[in-house]
């Protein structure tokens, strides 16, 4: 059976940090890997902003817990599971994302860990430097065929090693830069495409 490997934020859920930006009026937190492709650089930037603006982990988690999946995402995943295994490969953190997994029907999530001291984020532990790519490479070595779906620059690493790759909800600038990768703006259209691969 094939595995469909999804990015999470922007693909199936809103961007957690952008929701925090709205709640705190710290516009710099609106930046994502669409703006800063290096995840490590982006996280260092976010942690500094949280320290500068005294934004606690508790507040961040409270915002994350209120987030709902993008419209149609849960039903979309449920339909995909009729013919595929589903894995979420994300540059998010377990401490923030687990409530969202429940709202998405509890797919397998592979992501990173935060380091927290006195209710402030002090750092993070990356699962691997190119975790999305390495996960798909590992699945491939086990004899699985992988399909990758994402929306941003940090998803290109898994697109390079997946059998099939697709953008969903991606900005025009990214889809134009990588025009060889099919893109979709609706789950129903992507679902029809995936059903041709089962």
Active-site residue among 7, 15, 91, 95?
7
Q: Is 15 marked active-site?
A: no
Q: For all residues of the chain together, what is the average pLDDT?
A: 95
Q: Label the pairing between strands 120-125 and 146-150.
A: unpaired
> Top-level CATH class of 3-195?
alpha beta
Is this structure's pTM higher than 0.85?
A: yes
Q: What is the pLDDT of residue 183?
A: 97
| Interval 9-38 mean pLDDT | 92
The string of pLDDT tens digits covering residues 130-142 is: 999 999 999 999 9
Once rounded to an integer, what is the mean pLDDT over residues 23-37? Answer: 90
Map out the domains of the chain as residue ranges: 3-195
Q: Please pick, among 9, 15, 151, 155, the residue that the annotation labels catalytic.
A: 9
What SS3 string covers the chain? Answer: CCEEEECCECCCECCHHHHHHHHHCCHHHHCCCCCCCCHHHHHHHHHHHHHHCCCCHHHHHHHHHHCCCCCCHHHHHHHHCCCCEEEEEEEEEHHHHHHHHHHCCCCEEEEEEEEEECCEEEEEECCCCCHHHHHHHHHHHCCCCEEEEECCHHHHHHHCCCCEEEEECCCHHHHHHCCCCCEECCHHHHHHHHHCCC
Residue 9 is among the residues annotated as catalytic for this protein: yes
pLDDT band for 76, please (50, 70, 90 cuts).
very high
């Amino acid at each position: 059976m094939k595995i469909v490997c999804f990015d999470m934020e922007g693909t199936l859920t809103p961007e957690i940090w952008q929701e925090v930006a709205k709640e705190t009026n710290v516009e710099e937190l609106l930046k994502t890997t669409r703006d800063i492709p290096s995840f490590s650089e982006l996280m260092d930037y976010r942690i500094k902003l949280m320290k500068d603006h005294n934004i606690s982990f508790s507040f961040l988690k409270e915002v994350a817990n209120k987030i709902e999946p993008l419209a149609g995402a849960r039903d979309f995943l449920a339909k995909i599971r009729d013919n595929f295994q589903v894995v979420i490969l994300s540059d998010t953190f377990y401490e923030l994302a687990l409530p969202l997994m429940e709202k998405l029907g509890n797919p397998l999530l592979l992501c990173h860990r935060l380091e927290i001291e006195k209710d402030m984020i002090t750092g993070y532990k990356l699962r691997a430097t190119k975790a999305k790519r390495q996960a798909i490479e590992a699945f491939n070595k086990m004899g699985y065929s992988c399909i990758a779906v994402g929306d941003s620059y940090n998803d290109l690493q898994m697109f390079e090693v997946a059998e099939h790759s697709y953008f969903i909800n991606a900005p025009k600038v990214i889809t134009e830069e990588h025009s060889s990768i099919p893109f979709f703006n609706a789950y129903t259209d992507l679902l029809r495409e995936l059903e041709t691969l089962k």
